[in-house]
Chains A and B, each alone.
Chain A
Amino acid sequence: MSACAWICLVLPLASAAAITIGGTSLSRRTAGYISTITTFGSFVAAIAAFAVMLGESPGDRPHTTTSWTWLEAGRYHFGLTLLTDQLSVMMMLIVAGVGGLIVAYSLGYMDGEDEERRYFAYMSLFVFSMLLLVQSGNLLLLLAGWGMVGLSSYLLIGFHHDRPSAVAAAKKAFVMNAFGDATLALALFLLIQHTGRLDYAGVFASSPHGGAVANLIALGLLGGAVAKSAQIPLHTWLPDAMEGPTPVSALIHAATMVTAGVYLIARTHVLFENAWFVADLAAALGAATLLMAGLIALVQVDIKRVIAYSTMSQIGYMFVGAAAGAYPNGMFHLMTHAFFKALLFLAAGIAIHALTGEQDIRKMRGLGRTMPRTRLAFLVGSLALVGIPPFAGFFSKDSILAAVLDRGAFGAVLFACGIVGAFLTGVYTFRLFFTVFGETGDVNPHLHGDREGPPSMVWTVGVLAVLSVVGGFLQFAPVWTPLTTWLEPVARPFAEASSWQEALASAAAVAVGAAGIAIAYALYVARTIPVPRTLPVLQHKFYWDEAYDLLFYRPADLVARYLNRFFEQPVIVGSIGEVTQGFRVGAGEVSRVQNGLVRSYALALAAGVAVLAVVFLVSR
């Protein structure tokens, strides 16, 4: 069991190292194959671990394995500990599985790229970091994985480093994530101070209940989760992160990294349950984000940005679920979202690849005629996203909405937000579908013979489409709940819907979703309703970027300029000249001693003798 865990973790790291060391002696294809095979190898190891776990009784399932002590300082003791339990093996399967599919897709998408090897090395590094995050047995190792996924994200967003917009987007993502990392670290400091440990069992047992400290700890964790998962207020980096290649957007910014925040909340749910104020805050942030993102997605014209805002919105759902206490529901939505969001991104990637990089939907009209299979895949993904049965999203999203009804008045507000969000999801998703993959339009894609894309791209999308159809059947609350049962020992929900709440939620969600689709049809296909004018506030994404620029960037820039003018230039740069001048003058003065006169030297000798005599006399 521990062998499976270590193999699963180490394979991608070995791949990244091998590609880096191999360098140009490996062909580009080979680098891609190494990366793909190791990622699927991790998936196999995860399946093996899962299979072993199935045979064990629920109490025995958590396995920790420590390779060596990492940090030892006084009475604090942190090891390189991996935890394989129900929650982590679920995440391992998702990360390695979906990751493997996406890396395989990249074989076709990035074919011919100059720096393809670097890409695959970074992708393997990312898979390793994410697996480290989910498999870590203590919060310190989780923080290490947390930081490394941030690094991989930076490296991959800025992959096309000759594009200034990509570089700027990478920096933005990294800086915002660093802020979250800082709050997370502060939470860990508090935990160490109050409990002296960072391993999960110890922390959950001895962390304070309620009170300022518990709230601060949870707030720090929430800060990290918000930054990583692109929720309000640290969300502005996600749309810009679409500058990276499409598979990167699919893997990192849809399926796995951005869901790390949800995983964190589910994993440390005890700490959030001890700080109900912060938990409610998290749910409120999730609800606000899902509404805001849905509204913004209505007016975006870049296909990837629409999907990005959609991701932001769906993660809002997951936050609502996890923070409200419905951990299995949140994790379930995480899983199905990974499937259909990756599907949407990769299908969009096929379209972008066929149109050699065009991403503006106004210039992508009419692909439906020439790329029917892609159209089908995108349709499947869209239906899953909106939550139409029997596709995956229906089961997971509705279960979240139902569960929040269990939380009283606050829950009712969350429910209302979720319903409105579902409506918006229907509208913007099918706006995208009808615009790009509709029948009308005159776009001319480059196809590979009669295939719509290279084989690696096509079969991976196919697999994801199948998963988006059947993935939802894993759980159909409250009738059939194997996932909740599976996760129960690790994350016991305290918000569970009764059957009538489930029925109500499902009915309402499907109804509004279908209404959204109908509206989109009317707007963009049948044209029975004229498209309304775009509101400037939506156009400017609620002015968040402008606000941050004013609040943070301008003052920092001013301070830097001021310091440069009044301190750096005169004092530091100027002092260099002063120092050299001083040395020169001093040396000039000292050189006057060497006047070449023998008598002066003899005088120096005599004076030295006089001084030495005094010294000898005194020292007696």
Chain B
Amino acid sequence: MANFLVWVVWVLAAFACIASALGVVSFRNPFFSALALIGNLASLAVLYLLLGGEFVAAGQVLVYGGAVMVMFLFVIAYLGDRTDEAPWAGGPSWQAVGTVLAAGAILAEVIVALALTTGGELTHEAQIARSFGSPASIGRLFLTDHLLAFEVTSIVLLVAAVGGVVLGAHARALEGDARA
């Protein structure tokens, strides 16, 4: 019974994930694309939970959905309505065809790689403890095995924040000149 439920949840979440991804790519209005992305993030959080990554799922919803997507929506709102006419048009004639081919090729290769390397056998092998994916264990890893990654990531975030301020400041200075 539990297994069946898990499967149902999985199928629903997977379906939502793919549908929202296609939506992001296809909508003309960027606002709708952003909303679709939020849906994508939510379904992904469900999938993470199924995989035992509670902290990551929470982080996904809070950070990605709560901060990044909000930023996106702010910018979209600021820039106004710029609907993209004919999303698949433009560019050289071989662009669309080439894209589909390349994407399809990559997909096929990934699946083939999976099949070949794992011999079709990818089960939940490891027995996991109850603390798998808990904040405690993640935090311990961050501060012991992956300390460098932790610190570098924080520096990158700092740099990005500074960059954002700088980019915004230039724009503001210009606008100040234009107005004066």
Contact = CB atoms under 8 A, between A and B. Distances in A.
Interface of A: 595, 597, 599-600, 603, 606-607, 609-610, 613-614, 617, 620
Contacts of B6: none
Nearest to A599: B91
Interface residues of B, number: 15
B106 A617 contact: no
Contacts of A607: 98, 101-102, 105
B110 to A, nearest CB: 8
Nearest to A610: B105
A205 to B, nearest CB: 81
Nearest to A602: B99
Given A613-B113, A617-B113, A617-B116, A600 B95 contact: yes
B118 to A, nearest CB: 13
Contacts, number: 39
Nearest to B109: A613
B102 A620 contact: no
Given A606-B103, A609-B106, A600 B112 contact: no
A53 B109 CA distance: 96
Interface string B100-137: 01110110011011001000000000000000000000
21 contacts: A595-B92, A597-B92, A599-B95, A600-B91, A600-B92, A603-B102, A606-B102, A606-B106, A607-B98, A607-B101, A610-B102, A610-B106, A610-B109, A613-B106, A613-B109, A613-B113, A614-B109, A617-B112, A617-B113, A617-B116, A620-B116
For the complex, would chain A's binding face be called helix, strand, loop or mixed by DSSP majority?
helix
Given A597-B95, A610-B105, 20 more contacts: A599-B91, A600-B91, A600-B95, A603-B95, A603-B98, A603-B102, A606-B99, A606-B106, A607-B98, A607-B101, A607-B102, A609-B102, A610-B106, A610-B109, A613-B109, A613-B110, A613-B113, A614-B105, A614-B109, A617-B113
A600 B92 CA distance: 8
A617 to B, nearest CB: 6
Given A617-B112, A617-B116, A597 B102 contact: no
Q: Is the interface of B mostly helix, strand, loop or mixed?
A: helix
Contacts of B91: 597, 599-600
A476 to B, nearest CB: 105
A599 B92 CA distance: 10
B102 A617 contact: no
Nearest to B107: A610
B33 to A, nearest CB: 17
Contacts of A595: 92
B160 to A, nearest CB: 21
B105 to A, nearest CB: 4
Nearest to B102: A606
A606 B102 CA distance: 6
Contacts of A614: 105, 109
Task: Give the interface centre of A595, A600, A620 by most chain B CB atoms within 10 Å.
Answer: A600
Interface in B55-112: 91-92, 95, 98-99, 101-103, 105-106, 109-110, 112
A162 B84 CA distance: 83
Nearest to B106: A610
A613 B110 CA distance: 8
A543 to B, nearest CB: 78
Contacts of A610: 102, 105-106, 109
